[in-house]
Amino acid sequence: MKAAVVVFEGTNCDRETFQALKAINFDVDYIWHNWTSLENYDMIVLPGGFSYGDYLRPGAIARFSPVMKSVESYTMKDRGIVVGICNGFQILTESGLLPGAFLKNKYGNFICKMVDLEVENRDIFTDVGKLRLYIAHSDGNYTTDEKTLDLLEREGRVLFKYTQNPNGSIHSIAGISNEKFNVFGMMPHPERSSLPYHENMDGLKVFEALKRCVK
């Protein structure tokens, strides 16, 4: 199976994401943000970082890059799955591929720490109940309207929640998917818990579960 790690100006989690995907036997390529041919890939990952400095809003400029136009048609055609991690998640909400938006963390600080997560969707994450993963963000306070929130909860589209809400995120949401379950977004960094020298390997379980979603 082939995976692509998209690199925008200001992406900085691309290398670990590449290694994590390689660890679960993906054939991985880096692709630059002006690349548009995604047909060969089974999974597209938008990694974390600070695309375009987050100067306008996190993800606001990246969403207009040529690769994101192709990501849109890739998901429409249901060619494979798209995973946004941290800044990648923010790019997906800005582009409308996932609902909602991000506010500054409730207490205004940049948070970088290991957090406990409760797995909400056990159909996707069949073999895990709890996860411990790193978060590292200033704008992780996920918000959306009541109607969307209700849909996310009812349709099993909330992937995981923080056990102790670190950033004010509504319903303690840490990750969601779209209704077709081919676009996934999460604030925690599974790639930082994927290699033997990391604190744990919980992230690998996340990538493996997502790999199983590829039809």
Partner 1 sequence: MRYSFVVHVKMNPGVFDPRASTIERNLKKMSYPVEDLKIGKTFEFSLNAESEEKASFIVKEMAEKVLSNPVLEDFTLERVEK
Residues classed as catalytic: 86, 189, 191
Nearer to partner 1, 39 or 145 (CB): 145
How many residues touch partner 1 under the rule CB under 8 A: the total is 18
Query: How many beta carbons lie within 10 A of that of residue 58, not counting itself?
Result: 27
- Let me know if 110 is exposed, middle or buried by CB neighbors in 10 A (0-12, 13-18, 19+): exposed
Among 101, 114, 151, 214, binds partner 1 (CB under 8 A): 101
Told to check if 104 binds partner 1 by CB under 8 A, we report yes
* Residue carrying the six token digits 């969707």: 121
Q: How far is the CB of 104 from partner 1 (least distance, A)?
A: 6
Nearer to partner 1, 10 or 168 (CB): 168
- Let me know if 83 is exposed, middle or buried by CB neighbors in 10 A (0-12, 13-18, 19+): buried
Told to check if 69 binds partner 1 by CB under 8 A, we report no
Told to check if 76 binds partner 1 by CB under 8 A, we report no
* Residue carrying the six token digits 């582009």: 95
Q: What is the footprint of partner 1 within residues 125-144 (CB under 8 A)?
A: 143-144
Q: In the chain, what are the helix, strand and coil shares in percent, each to the nearest 5? A: 30, 30, 40
Cβ(87)–Cβ(48) below 8 Å: yes
Mark the segment that binds partner 1 (CB under 8 A) among 29-37, 105-113, 154-162, 181-189: 105-113
Tokens found for residue 130: 């709890």
Q: How far is the CB of 66 from partner 1 (least distance, A)?
A: 16
Residues contributing to the site for partner 1 (CB under 8 A) = 56-57, 60-61, 64, 93-94, 100-101, 103-108, 143-144, 168
